[in-house]
Amino acid sequence: MSRKVLVTGGAGYIGSILVPKMLGLGWQVTLVDTFRGGGTELSGACQYETFRPVKGDARDERLLDELVPKHDIIIPLAALVGAPLCKEDQIGATTLNRDAVRAIVKRSSADQIVVYPTTNSGYGVGEKGKFCTEETPLRPISLYGTTKVEAEQAVLEKGNGVTLRLATVFGMAPRLRIDLLVNDFTYRAVTDRAVLIFEGHFKRNYIHIQDIAKTFLHAIDNYSTMRGQPYNVGLSTANLSKLELCERIKQQLPNFVYVEAPIGEDPDKRDYIVSNEKLEKTGWSPDWPLERGIAELIRGYTMLRNSRFANV
């Protein structure tokens, strides 16, 4: 069945994987993005006559007035992602991460589907040895986490949405983000063969970018049973500390050396383990274990080099 989908911020990390998948299913996809990166990450999508890119800002309420009513499904991806970026642009984080989502929700109707990606960051610092479930109180410790939690609340209160609390994402994509933890550590292992770890006992959950795209499609296909609820999205086999993550990378790159700093601290204080059982009970399962994703990243980083100012 052909569906009409509106995606804001669809030229980013998640959108560069998700949008082509939806187009490949025969869906009509309208993508709103500022396209500030000016890249060709979605050039392959242009082969589809059902693809409509719109250059605009997800905070433009006149644009939302025009587009929201015309679509069956709305996926608000537009956001300033990560604590450092949100700290740098606090106004942008608040208006894009929270207010723009509220504006979409306000304009959506009961017969439309909203699938919203929030973040495990909302859990902040978990209790030692205790899994965070969807019932765990949300205690974000950054502006990023706070704005995403407040946007999620708006979606759930409306009653026509599903929210996905994403674990830390990894994996290759046309619009790559090397700053994310698995991507970052694997890049350092390939290029520098070493990394210095601060507070290596901090734990987090992880999920591959392809499995995130799969989860969006799963939520849409199972909307009748999943509506109005949040779901953790992560690998139940990958609730790992930074040191444990490095050991997994070292299994594939034996020359990789990692050392925990005796002094200093990580400004990112998130530390939690997450249960993904609720999502798994809906019939969802991941295709990309951590080891497969690390191997993919190693292949990708063999081709990719940030050497603009180097002489080698």
101-159: per-residue pLDDT in tens?
A: 999 999 999 999 999 999 888 888 778 889 999 999 998 888 999 999 999 999 999 99
Q: What average pLDDT does the chain have?
A: 94
Domains present along the chain, CATH in parentheses: 4-169+206-233 (3.40.50.720), 181-204+237-303 (3.90.25.10)
In 34-185, beta strands by DSSP E: 51-55, 73-76, 113-119, 131-132, 161-166, 168-170
Give a three-class secondary structure readout of 248-281. Answer: HHHHHCCCCEEEECCCCCCCCCCECEECCHHHHC
Q: Is the dihedral of CA 220, 223, 227, 230 positive or negative?
A: negative
For 299, residues 6+ apart whose C-beta sits below 8 A from its C-beta are 172
CB contact at 8 A, 85 and 18: no
pLDDT band at 312; cut points 50, 70, 90:
low
- Region 185-208: what's the mean pLDDT? 95
Contacts of 153 (CB under 8 A, 6+ apart): none
Cα Rg, the chain, nearest whole Å:
19
Asked if pLDDT for residue 262 goes beyond 90, the answer is no
Is the whole model's pTM more than 0.75, yes or no? yes
Tens-place pLDDT, residues 84-110: 899 999 999 999 999 999 999 999 999
**Pairwise CA distance, residues 154 & 309, whole Å:** 45
Q: Write down the pLDDT at residue 311.
A: 65
- The predicted pLDDT at position 128 comes to 82
What is the pairing mode between strands 203-208 and 239-241? antiparallel
**In this structure, which amino acid lies at residue 29?**
V
* Higher per-residue confidence, 309 vs 160: 160
CA atoms within 13 A on the CB side of 202: 15
58: nearest Cα among 37, 83, 76, 36: 76
